[in-house]
Amino acid sequence: MEQLKEKIRREGIVLSDKVLKVDAFLNHQIDPRLMQQIGEEFARRFRDEGVTKIVTIEASGIAPAVMAGLELGVPVIFARKHQSLTLTDHLLTASVYSFTKQVESTIAISTHHLSANDRVLIIDDFLANGKAAKGLIALVQQAGASVAGLGIVIEKSFQAGRQELEAQGFRIESLARVRSLEGGQVQFVD
């Protein structure tokens, strides 16, 4: 997606050979117009998949997921990373190792919002080693629902996530694929 790649080139900050900071438009300040275009693009790619729900993870997956949900006309559920007083029982849970925070945490979704009849599009901001995606897949599968595919805003193709998820048979659509961050430069796959 050219607008996204241009935004990354102009406003992304390479923090190390492995980490890209996009706080200017996705992870802290949010560019609503770009999020709308991202939502349209995910909807275009998954329109024929019979998606009934979108599942993402707080906080940075929510903006692109909501825009995709708006376009596809389906509800959006975000997995919570922190315990909530109002989310106490009937939980689907999975353990996820955070790439950026380097801690293991439990993510949770209420059983009330997913059923075995659902076909789920999973959306997240980044794909690195695939831990967050695998946690979300585990939640969807615990509900007996099926995974239509994964929509990723920025994939770092030099990490193992795509390879591992594709080996398990999942369809992955990434809107920007980063081949390398070496030397402080963002290089895209195509």
> Residues in the site for ligand 5GP, rule: CB under 6 A?
19-22, 27, 60, 99-100, 124-133, 161
* 118 versus 125: smaller Cβ distance to ligand 5GP: 125
In whole angstroms, the minimum distance from the beta carbon of 54 to ligand 5GP comes to 15
Whether a cis peptide bond, with omega within 30° of 0, leads into 59 is yes
Ranges of beta strands (E only) in 131-182 are: 146-156, 172-180
Those residues with Cβ within 8 angstroms of residue 88's Cβ, 6 or more apart along the chain or in another chain:
none
Q: How far are the Cα atoms of 11, 100, 160 from residue 21, in angstroms, in the given order?
A: 9, 11, 19
| Cβ proximity of 80 and 108 under 8 Å | yes
In whole angstroms, the minimum distance from the beta carbon of 48 to ligand 5GP comes to 26
Distance from C-alpha of 68 to C-alpha of 5, rounded to nearest angstrom: 19
* 21 versus 113: smaller Cβ distance to ligand 5GP: 21
Distance from C-alpha of 46 to C-alpha of 48, rounded to nearest angstrom: 6
In whole angstroms, the minimum distance from the beta carbon of 59 to ligand 5GP comes to 9
In whole angstroms, the minimum distance from the beta carbon of 178 to ligand 5GP comes to 8
* 64 versus 69: smaller Cβ distance to ligand 5GP: 64
Handedness of CA 112, 118, 121, 127 (dihedral sign): positive
* 83 versus 163: smaller Cβ distance to ligand 5GP: 163
In whole angstroms, the minimum distance from the beta carbon of 13 to ligand 5GP comes to 10
Q: Indicate the residue type of 5.
A: K
* 71 versus 124: smaller Cβ distance to ligand 5GP: 124
